[in-house]
Amino acid sequence: MPIQIFDPTTETTARRIAYAARPESLAGRRIGLVDNTKHNSDQLLLRIAAILERDHGAKAHVIRRKKSAGSAPHAEIIEEYKANVDVVIAGVGD
């Protein structure tokens, strides 16, 4: 006898996500670096910032450390970066 079963998965719903406009150049831009707390992630980010400043004219950088690799940056970092930086570099390093 035929039986009917129900789908246990989440049905995806489409939603438009607004991305921030990408700068055409990094010249004169201030860089915000998000340290994800993993060992040496700060070293990697600082090297990236140095390259961006040396080769692409970025003006300055700041680096802030999240509380945990598994969570989003806390509010203080987001507020500071919204106010004081033009470009943010974040990634999952391990």
Partner 1 sequence: MELKSRRHTVADLASAIELCYTNGWTDGMPVVPPTEERIRAMLDAAGLDPEHQLAFIENRQISVTAEKVAINAVMAGCKAEYMPVVAAAVEALGDPLYGYHGPATSTGGSAVFMLVNGPIARKLDINCGDNLFGPGWRANATIGRAIRLVMRNVIGTLPGELDRSSLGHAGKYTYCIAENEAESPWPPFHTTRGFRAGQNAVTIFAALAPHQYSNQLSATPEGILTTACAYMKISAGSARQPQYALVFAGEHMETMRKAGWTREQVQNYCFEHARSPVAELKRLYMMAGDVAPEDERTMFPVVREPGDFLVIAAGGSAGVQSAFIPGWGGKEGSQSVSREIRIP
Identify the residue among 16, 18, 22, 39 touching partner 1 (CB under 8 A).
39
Selected range binding partner 1 among 8-16, 25-33, 52-60, 80-88, rule: CB under 8 A: 8-16
Q: Footprint of partner 1 on residues 55-94 (CB under 8 A)?
A: 67-72, 94
Minimum CB separation from partner 1 for residue 4, in Å?
5
Sheet-wide strand order for 30-35: 60-65, 30-35, 87-89
How far is residue 23 from each of residues 18, 20, 57, measured CA to CA in Å? 15, 9, 13
6/60 Cα distance (integer angstroms): 55
Residues that bind partner 1 (CB under 8 A): 1-11, 15, 39, 67-72, 94
